[in-house]
Amino acid sequence: MPLPPAQKSLLVSLSGPSSSGKTTLARLLRDLLPNTFILHEDDFYKPESHLPFRSGHRDWDCPEAIDLPALTNALTYIKSTGKFPPFINSKEDQNTVGACPASPSHINLAKAIIASSSLHSLVKHAKICILDGFLLYSQAEEFKPILELIDIKLFLLASEEKAVARRKARDGYVTLEGFWKDPEGYVEEVVWPNYVEQHGYLFVDGDVKKGRLDRKVLEREGILAMGGGHGDGEGFGEVLVWAVGEVVNRLEGVLGGEGGRGENEGE
């Protein structure tokens, strides 16, 4: 159905394990889709001194590390105004993401999907906000107000081995206090265990290691995910084309008043 008069933007969330390609995909979607901007969950970290400890490390990867009321406030502002919140000073855009991993042929295919759709005419009076975050689909009570604001939920996958390798290859992260680089053992002892605890419910029998998504749970939660495994088998270009197809189809359904496919792929 069409947007309510009070809603000026649509929220598309990208979540998944650290180093699964969320920020890279968010930036590509911003560049490809009309009237689109990004909000990064990482811009809502609490000061380092307020973070809890896990395995002897400050824990940047748990729900307690994020200022969830501030994130909810920003999302509410975006939905009601269609604008990036002027009270947010983004640090995330100071972090490097490396070269674009999508091939020109995949980018051209994504552009063709958008060009053949009615999206450009449909978003004349509405903005698209891509919400990029490692921890958006937690079942913790504090996340409910955030989940209720999101219109389209995409979930990216990566195996532990690939996520750990990618994370360790990073330079580090700009923070409120300066710069953070993962200490030895941080990814294995903090990052991945937090991901498993917060997202196990999305996998068959809660087994994240096997990587088999529970399609009934995804449907119940309204979360879209590509394929049925870790996502390591799909190249980034395939993920880009899948994400563009899902976003275009479902935005057309919302803005154009017609239903989208409504099915998760990879059954």
Provide the annotated active-site residues: 42
User: CA-CA distances (angstroms) from residue 23 to 6, 28, 29, 52, 220?
Assistant: 29, 9, 10, 25, 26
Q: Are 106 and 36 in contact (CB under 8 A)?
A: no
Chain centroid offset of residue 81 CA:
21
Phi, psi of 258 (to 5 degrees): -115, 150
Q: Report residue 24 as tokens.
A: 């890279």
For helices 236-256 and 22-32, give the axis angle rounded to 10 degrees.
50
Q: What is the dihedral of CA 118, 122, 123, 128, to 10 degrees?
A: -70
Q: Is 254 helix (H, G, I), strand (E, B) or coil?
A: helix
